[in-house]
Structure formats: structure tokens, C-alpha cells
Amino acid sequence: ELAVGSWFGKAVPDDPSTAPFPEVVMTPTFHADGTVIANDSHETTNPHATAHGSWTRTGENQIEATFVWLNLTTEDPTGFAGAFKVRLTGSVDPDDPDNMIGQVAPVVFPPGVDPLDPNDTGGIPAGVFSITELRRVPADPFKSTAVVEELETAALPRDYGLDYAYPNPFNPTTTIRFSLPAETIIDLRIYNLQGQVVRHLVDERVGAGQFAVQWDGRNDSGKRLASGTYLYRLEGAGFSLQNKVTLLK
């Protein structure tokens, strides 16, 4: 329905002189329950932490979304410490429902200023960015092979955890284990070193416990990926964990 699903695209500033970065690379996932999980990168080799927020339908083909990146530090590619609050207004092309056009407007909040407080006016606009490309990530028949296997444990985990993949390096498959202290919607994705999503392994609600998922070294089109190092990232409401794995041929 409309925007539900995962997207990948870019936005560039309408006025580069007012923007703190030359472009934004976005990977938002819009869930049917009105929540959104997103990653962005102001440099393709430096992905940011996960953003969480909400979206709503504002017209027949229009949506509006707000999401926040929290706890950025001066080590961030922008050198900024604080939070970004981003408002996205988009329109799905009725003739091409896998394409979205629109704008994103980031506001920066310094440390100590709550971007989630609607009465807080401490944010500073960081320009307006026009979406140059935002395409829906196609549904993948291979996605169903990423079965989430629940593991037996003596007690429920106390914290979110993402183990190192085993084997690593691997060929042809590797197992990724993770822990959840509470039921939540999670995304488990594989990225190349350019920050691009190459495989969506899990995008669903999972209960508390320890789990395992296998990755077969293929992308979302079912093609074997080239040898090299990849990132696997587990994300949910309030947490983001990441490790590396190496594929050999």
C-alpha cells in the first residue's frame, strides 16, 4: 500500500550554500503501523546511526514522515554533536508506484535540546533537499529463505546483542545470531562498504529471545555477490548494532 516497504534514494540541497552537506543518501522503511526506520549517509562511506519516527498518508498519493537521528557526536561525518530531525514530504508516482518524489528538510539540535519536544525551538534549519531518486526496493522471492530460528536459552537476554557471524570468512553460507530482551520490529540488512543495502534478511516483529538467521551471500535479486567485506546491521526501536563479515569465493 502506497509507501509501505523499503526504499533507497538520494536528495540534494536546493541551495548548497545553506546546507551542511552536499547530498543525503536515504534508506527508509515505512511500516504499515505508521512507524518508519531509516538510515542516511552524508558521505556514502559513512552511514549514520538509525533514525526512528512516524509517517502518515496526507493525500491520495502523498505521505509525510518525521524521523530523528539521536546521539550524533563530533566523530560523525558532519562534525556535528546532537541530533537531526528530518521532515520528509513525498508523493508516490501513480504511473510508477515504485518511484517517489518530494523533499526532505533537516533541522539540527545541539546537545541538551530535545528534538522530540514540539515546544522546543532550539533547532536550526539546515536547508531544504529535493529528492533526486527514491526507488522502492523490490520484494524478493529469496527473502523468505531468511528464516528466523529461535534458539533455546536458559533465560531471556537482558540487552540487545548481535554476535559475530560464523563462519567468517564464509562460503557459501554464514549464520548471524542476535538477542532481543523484548518483542520488537527489527530490520536485519546486509550492506556493502559504500553504505548501500544489498540484502534485506529480516523485516518483521520478533519476540524476546535469542535467534539465528542464515545468509547465503546473495543480494535481493538472488545473485551471488562478489568476494569482499560486508556489513550486517540489526536495527529496531532505540538500538542499532553492526558487525562485519567476509564473503569468499
pLDDT of 78 strictly over 70: no
**Rg of the chain over CA atoms, in angstroms?**
18
What was the pLDDT predicted at 47? 45
- Which of the residue ranges 11-20, 42-51, 156-165, 226-235 would you say has the lowest mean pLDDT? 42-51
User: What's the pTM?
Assistant: 0.56
pLDDT of 219 reads 85
Interatomic CA distance for residues 54 and 88, integer angstroms = 10
Q: How far apart are CA 228 and CA 245, in angstroms?
A: 8
Of residues 82 and 215, more confidently modeled: 215
What's at 34, amino acid-wise?
Answer: G
Q: Is 149 helix (H, G, I), strand (E, B) or coil?
A: strand
Domains (range + CATH), the chain: 5-136 (2.40.128), 143-247 (2.60.40.1930)
pLDDT for 212 equals: 94
Contacts of 29 (CB under 8 A, 6+ apart): 5, 6, 7, 36, 37, 38, 187, 203
Instruction: Please write the tens of the pLDDT for every residue from 120-154.
Output: 777 888 889 999 888 887 665 444 446 788 888 88
